[in-house]
Structure 1
Amino acid sequence: ILIFGGALGIAASEIVLPVMIPAGNPYTTVMGAWQLLEIMVTAAIFPYLAIAVIALGSLIFGRFFCGWVCPFGFISDLVSYIGKKGRVSDKTNISLFKISLFIAGLFLFIDFSIGYNEAVGTSIAHYFGDFSREPSSIIDPTSSMFSMLFWYFYWRLYPQGLDKLSQIIKYPPTFWIRLVIVIIAIVSNYYIPRLWCRTFCPLGGLMGLGGQYSLLRVFVDPKNCLGEKCRLCEKRCPLNIPLVSIRGDIRHPQCTMCLMCAEACPTNAIRLRISLT
C-alpha cells in the first residue's frame, strides 16, 4: 500500500515516514525520510522535515518502523522465514551496525558535497548522472525493485511486448549493478536474516543510533525470565540480540522490535514498554 497504493486509488499524501520508500515510483502514497533528505540536501535545501522525522522517529520509536513498516524489511522476513536462519555473534552484529553508520556518513558526505556545490554555482551533479538527486539509490534494493525495475518494465517491456526482452542486454551498466545488488540483498536473507538491513541500510544505521535511547523499547522482565536454561527468545530473534544477557530494557541498535522474542517466551516475560529512563 505504501508503494503501490496509488494504483488502488489511494491518494498520495505529504506524510513522511522513517522507512526506505522509493521516490521515483508514481504510485507511492508516502515519502521516505531518507529519500527526502537526499533530494533536499543535493538541491541545496536544508532538510528540516527529514531530519525531524528521522531524529524524532528514532528517539521515540527506535527501529520499530524497520520491523513493522519497511517494505524491503517485509520481503526480507518472507525470505528468511524459509531460509537457514544463520546466526552471527553480537560482536559481529555491532560491527555490521557500524558499517551501516559508515555508509550513512559516506552518502551524507556525498549529498552535502553535491548540495554545497549547487549552492555556490560550481555544480558537480553531472558527475553522478542519474544518481545526483539520490546517490544512495544505487545500493538501495527498495528503490531498484520498486522504481528502477518498475520504469524499465513500464516504459520498455510493457508497451513493446516480451518480444523485445532480448534488448535487455543493451541496458546500461548501472541497471545490471543495481539488479545484482537486489538479488544479493534478497538472497542473503536466506542465509542471514535482514543482512542488508543491519549492514548496508543508511537509514537503518541512523535509526539504530537513536534507537538506543528511544522511549519505546523491548523489555525483558528479569523476574519472569528463565535465564540461561531457556534462551528461546534468543534462538527466535532474527537479529541475534543477546536478550538474556542484557535483560531489562533492550537498547540494542539492531533491535527492530519485531516481537518474535515475545512470541517464543514461555513465561510472557517480554513486552514492549515506554520508559523515560
Structure 2
Amino acid sequence: MTIQVFPYLFLLFYFHSHIDIAHAHLCESRNNVPSPLGFLNQLSQVQKGDNVTGVRELKKHLSYLGYLNYNNTYSNDQKKEHENIFDDSLETALKKYQKFYHLNITGVLDDSTITKMCQPRCGMPDFFNPNNSLPFRTISHYTFFPGNPKWQKKTLAYAFDWNVKEEAKPPLEHALKEWSSVTPFKFYYVKNVSRAEIKFSFMSGDHGDGYPFGDPRGGLGHGFAPPDGRVHFDVNQNWSWAGKRNAFDMKTAGLHELGHVLGLGHSTIVEAIMYPSVHPGERKKLHKDDINGIKALYKLRGK
C-alpha cells in the first residue's frame, strides 16, 4: 500500500511544482533582460477587495494603457491610485482590458490576462481617454487618436536617422509602399532628417519622448500621430529583416508604427496590423480593418 501511495504523492508534488513554476514564469525575461511587468507574476488571481503588494503597479500599468484614470473620479478618491487595494475602478478597467483582447471578462487578474499583458507590444496606449467605450462596430474595430489628427498633404518625405542599420531600411520602405498602395499617400526619401515628415530611429532606454524603452511605456516601438511623424524602435530587441522565427519582423513593426504616424490607433482585431501585440517570427500584412480605418479617417472612397 505504501508503494502505491508514494508514487501518487510524488506525482502530486511533481504536478503542483510544475504549476507553480508555470505561474512564476508568466512574464519571462527576454534577451536576458527581466520583464518590466514581472511583478504581475505575483498577482495571479487577485480580484476586487484584495490588498496585495503590486496592485498599485497594476493600476499604474492600466492607467498608462488608457484603461484607468483616477483623475476622472472625485478628488478624495484619487489617492486610491497609490494604494494596493483592488477597488471597483480597477475591476472595471481590467474588464475593459479583457474585452479589448477577447479574454474571459471576469475582472480577475487570471493567468491568461497576465500572459496577454506580458506579450511584446507597441508602446502606444490602447485608449487615450479611459471613458471612451470600446470601438466595437458591426464590422470595423479600428480607432483614431484624440481629435482625429491627420496629414493635410498626401506627399510626405521620410528619412532614416544615423542609428538605422542598412538592413532595416528595405523592410521599412516596403512598409511605406504597402500603405501607399491602399491610400493616396506618396512617400519619398530625403537624406536630411530635419526635412522629413516621417523620421525613423532606433533608440534605447529613456530617449526623451516619454516612452522609455525597457519600460512598458516604450514597448517594441512607438509611432507618433500627425503631424509629429517620429517612429522609434528599441535597438536592444532582436529584429529580423528576413523572417527569422525567434525575432521581431521589421516590416510588420514598421507597418504598425506607420499606421500611428498616419493617424490610426489600435485595433481589437488580432489579424489587423494595428493590433497592439506581436509575437517573434510573426509576419503580417495590412488587414481590411486597417484599410477601412485609414479610409474612414481621410474620408476616402477609393484609393
Verify same fold: TM over 0.5.
no
Q: TM-score, normalised on structure 2?
A: 0.22
Q: TM-score, normalised on structure 1?
A: 0.24
